Structure 1
Amino acid sequence: MTALQRIEQGSALQQTDDADLVARIDMLNAIGIALSSENDMPHLLERILIGAKQITRADAGTLYTINDQQKLNFEIVQTTSLGIKRGGSSARPVQLEPISLYRGNGSPNNKLVVTYCALNNKTVNLPDVYKENDTGFDFSGPRLFDKKMNYRTRSMLCVPMINHDGKTIGVIQLINKKSINGPVAFDDDDIHLLQSLASQAAIALTNKRLIDDLKALFDSFIKTIAASIDETSAHTGEHCRRVPYLTLALADAASRDQKCMKDFILNKQQRYNLEVASWLHDCGKLATPIHIVDKSTKLETVFDRIELIDTRFEVLKRDANIARLEALLEAGHDKDRIELIEKQYREEIKQLTDQRDTIRQCNIGAESMPPELKERIKQIAARTWRNCDDELVPFFSEDEINNLLIPYGTLNADERKIINDHIVVTNKMLASMQFPDEMASVPEYAGGHHERMDGKGYPLGLTREQMSVPARVMAIADVFEALTSWDRPYKKAKKLSEALAILGKMKQRNHIDPDLFDLFIRDKVYLPYAREFMDPELIDIDEPSEIPGYPFDMP
């Protein structure tokens, strides 16, 4: 070969090397772009290691992260020639104990290549680990692996992943750069490329952890809000925890359904939005006066005024007894007159006792007040009594009679409006929150749980067509939770059959979504919820065919 031929051959090889380096730099850029768009942490870690192996042509590699206990976690382990793939998208996790960066006495553990790299923020490049006798590193681990797997560890390259604060958050370790003649040492280009990737990886990991931490903070915040709502009243119990459970169960069933809900798809982000909305759906109750939320009887304000009513009855009984004694004095020894006075007294006391018991019963509240009970309350209200100023006044104040005549529940019209307005407050609170674009649906999901399919709900009077499927899902979940809840002030928990029968009637009256209700029954979405949160004695049915109160054709 002439001198000219050798020069031409060297020039061709240089051009080939340059082209290869450019290709690897392009690959590095592509990997960096991919890392910036990856949202799943295991997949992100896997992308980093695969990218590192690609740009350096490494046969094997391990990606470590540093945990809070100052140990190196094995996150991803791969050896192409042996078909080893652990962690990341693999179904097989890495089952290796973390490596301590410090010994028991607190001194740094610099004996291992990866710990030295992490502790000193230094890149380590070893052409052949079996010949590196003067490094002071312990290679018993690679030797043991080689013996067990019939492998030969030669070249090793370790690069720290250093974040913007100059702190090492992990290590990329590569083994055996591949060539046509077998494993060779990693060169300077490999080092520079891997250091660049490690820098990008550190940024991606830091950003992902920051996003995850912010999400965790947000999730804990909304659950704290929900818990504070429940904690303010003994009568809301765990409503804000139970509604998300049932909401997501029904939404998942709807997403799986291939019949009436076949056009509904619930992706991961939408599901998360619905979960957030279900935790926040009652946040407006933070502004609702607690004495209204906790109003367990019709006459309750800051205390139950039934005690005042009882006192008035006792005053009337006292007056009746005084009148009896005065009449007995006037009657003298007239036995017939005395007998008549005692009889009238007993009848009056019995009437007063019966009327007092009626008021006590009425004060408890119910789902509906019979017309005859209303009339009896009005008759009792015609009584008068003398107050402490000896003034003859009506037996009930106007406010007392209005509350006693509440047709259902324990809230009067003004109080019910205040309670209902919690959804208005909820909507205002959620509208004021700066949700990112991908979570813009949260206010709509949360704000529709008191709407009705016929447009007669509140606060906006939306119809079925104007509501999203998740909002309609939450409406059913909220109603069913309320029906089966044991901690409401004015009612006992319904039996499962009763609650489902009421839902069925609500479907017939176009109050709730009929397709979602049918799915709720057909897939028995209610049953796991009932077993989790209801008194076992109230779970009186299992199969939908046993549910009374409405017709339902099973497909």
Structure 2
Amino acid sequence: MLSLRGAFWHAALQRSARIENRHRSILTRNLDKLTQIGIALSAEKNHHRLLDTILTQSRELTNADAGSLYLVEETSEGKKNLRFVHTQNDSKRIPFKQFVMPAAKTSISGFVAVTGETLNIPDVYDLPPGVEYSVNKSFDQSVGYRSKSMLVVPMRDHLNEITGVLQLINAKPSSDILIPNPEEAEKHVIPFDHAVEHLVSSLASQAAVSLENSMLIESLERTFEGLVKASVHAIEQRDPITSGHSERVTELTCALAQAVSEIKEGRYADTAFTEEQMKELRYAGFLHDFGKIGVREHVLQKANKLYPMEMEVVKNRFAVIKRTLQAEYQEWMVEFALAGKRNEVEKLRGEMNAKVAEADRYLELIVRSDVPSMIPDGDFDGLMKLGEVTYKDFDGTEKPYLTAQELKALALRRGNLTEEERKEIESHVSHSYDFLVQIPWTKALRGVPEIAHGHHEKLNGKGYPRGLKEEEIILQAKIMCVCDIFDALTATDRPYKKAAPLDKAIQILKFEVKDNHLDPELVDIFVKKKVYRAVTQFKEAEYAEPAS
């Protein structure tokens, strides 16, 4: 008898040990899982992916068929709302749309947000009498779903303040089971195990801290991007001619980088830009011309070959020239008239009119040549001749019709900038770099200065400011170079040139490739992937290769 009792006692101890070991194993597995979830949450910096990770991991931990996330928001009046920010459902494809509702005890999620209590409800359609909250069945009815068991926990930050609500719906014996309709829900849905409540609460707290960090990072990034855009706006106020250029170049550059990442053949088949690299390109795009702050404003805004004040001086000078000519000839004509030499007077009048007309023609030539376009050979020869023509000032001093500096500017065969002015404009790249290297960039963004520094380099080494060769120019700078040139060609706000239509701009890009200035594959991707559609101007445009 004692032997039999001992055997039963021994068997009971063994069974108890097995149960304890099983519970310990489950607890260890859950704690390991919770640790892994915590690592995953802390590693994820993207706010939207973090929301998805929180819900996915919570549902995996509890075998929940569905789940929702709400974040607490405070109004300007100090009242609290709940924003529905994310949802998942294994059994139903449910359209998602954010909405805001008051954080009130009348709803299940609102009750948890206000009280901080965890609710573990076996059946939300059969709530205990006297509870303050209720369930709205209309949503289930509209999508043909049946919400039954529900585990709703508050999300608390490091200050123990409730920042959100995690709502898990319909626990299942196995994650493989689907419950697409109310009938299947009645068959398979089980209550949430009370043993997992503390695990889910712990996960929710980890999630709250991770979300807080994520939102802080996003807030800092928004602030920084706001400062960047404000800086660009300030620069564009100094150079309104190119207003919008930095934003368009940014959009084009990011679109071309994305297209490069999607290419599956050719030189860049294995190239894929990460999210951090795309952000780096974005900042480099916005700030690539920031160095214009170091260029004199009147040089930035120069529209013609002569500055407005210089042209005004020239016009006033020609008015003086004509008045001087007329005064000189009038004096001679009076002398001859008094001497009775009428024929000489008429001859002088003809000479005077001819010289005044010549001065008018010279001024017309100057005004015509002031426009930054290709000068016809005849006009160029006329300018050279004009450089040798002089007049006598009121005090009898011999002076040129045009100063050497004016002639140098007007005789420019291309563009509107003298060599000195061009070098000053080009110095903006070095100014940009000198400014950008002063910023303590994060590791993910430390390439911003180098990208901006290289966006005017050419493959043949004839770019500026460093004259880098092809292998020395980073890919991001090559991408930006293509986009910078395209926007400069097609910009509609440049008073010194007409905007090139799409087909002509692309042909010019291809000429740049032939001259070994631009990367041929990047230009090819730009055209074939219709990257130009990244800007509003060409949103619906279609480039067609010219017939050969």
TM-score class, shorter-chain normalisation, is 0.7 to 0.9
Query: Structure 1 counterpart of 2:537, which letter?
Result: F
1:44-443 aligned within 5 A: 44-58=50-64, 60-68=66-74, 70-78=80-88, 83-84=91-92, 92-95=94-97, 97-101=99-103, 109-126=104-121, 133-141=128-136, 145=140, 151=146, 153-154=148-149, 156-175=150-169, 183-184=190-191, 186-187=193-194, 189-257=195-263, 258-300=265-307, 303-332=308-337, 333-366=340-373, 368-369=374-375, 373-385=379-391, 391-443=397-449
Higher alpha-carbon deviation: 220-229 or 443-452: 220-229
Aligned to 2:177: none
Name the CA shift for 1:422/1:143 in 2 (closer, same or farther; >3 Å).
closer
Deviations 1:288-318 (A, max 9, x none): 2111101122221xx4211111111111211
1:458 equivalent to 2:452? Answer no
SS of residue matched to 2:240:
coil
| Aligned partners of 1:295 and 1:489 also within 8 Å | no
Q: CA deviation at 1:55?
A: 3.7
Higher alpha-carbon deviation: 203-212 or 318-327: 318-327
Name the CA shift for 1:249/1:335 in 2 (closer, same or farther; >3 Å).
same
Q: CA deviation at 1:535?
A: 12
| Aligned partners of 1:63 and 1:173 also within 8 Å | yes
Match of 1:533 among 531, 537, 542: 537
Name the CA shift for 1:251/1:350 in 2 (closer, same or farther; >3 Å).
same
Distance in 2 between residues matched to 1:50 and 1:414, nearest whole Å: 62
Using the size of structure 1 for normalisation, the TM-score is: 0.84
Q: CA deviation at 1:385?
A: 4.2
Query: Structure 2 counterpart of 1:459, which letter?
Result: P
Q: Which runs of 5+ in 1 are unaligned?
A: 87-91, 102-108, 547-551
SS of residue matched to 1:159:
strand
Aligned to 1:549: none
Name the CA shift for 1:341/1:28 in 2 (closer, same or farther; >3 Å).
same
| Aligned partners of 1:294 and 1:489 also within 8 Å | no
Distance in 2 between residues matched to 1:184 and 1:252, nearest whole Å: 47
Deviations 1:187-243 (A, max 9, x none): 3x4332222111101111111111122222222222222233223223213211221
Q: CA deviation at 1:463?
A: 1.3
Q: Percent identity?
A: 30
Aligned to 1:104: none
Higher alpha-carbon deviation: 408-417 or 223-232: 223-232
SS of residue matched to 2:241:
coil
Q: Which runs of 5+ in 2 are unaligned?
A: 175-187
SS of residue matched to 1:174:
strand
Distance in 1 between residues matched to 2:19 and 2:531, nearest whole Å: 68
Distance in 1 between residues matched to 2:537 and 2:111, nearest whole Å: 53
| Aligned partners of 2:370 and 2:410 also within 8 Å | yes
Question: What is the CA RMSD across the aligned residues, in angstroms?
Answer: 3.3
Q: CA deviation at 1:149?
A: 5.7
Using the size of structure 2 for normalisation, the TM-score is: 0.85
Higher alpha-carbon deviation: 493-502 or 113-122: 493-502
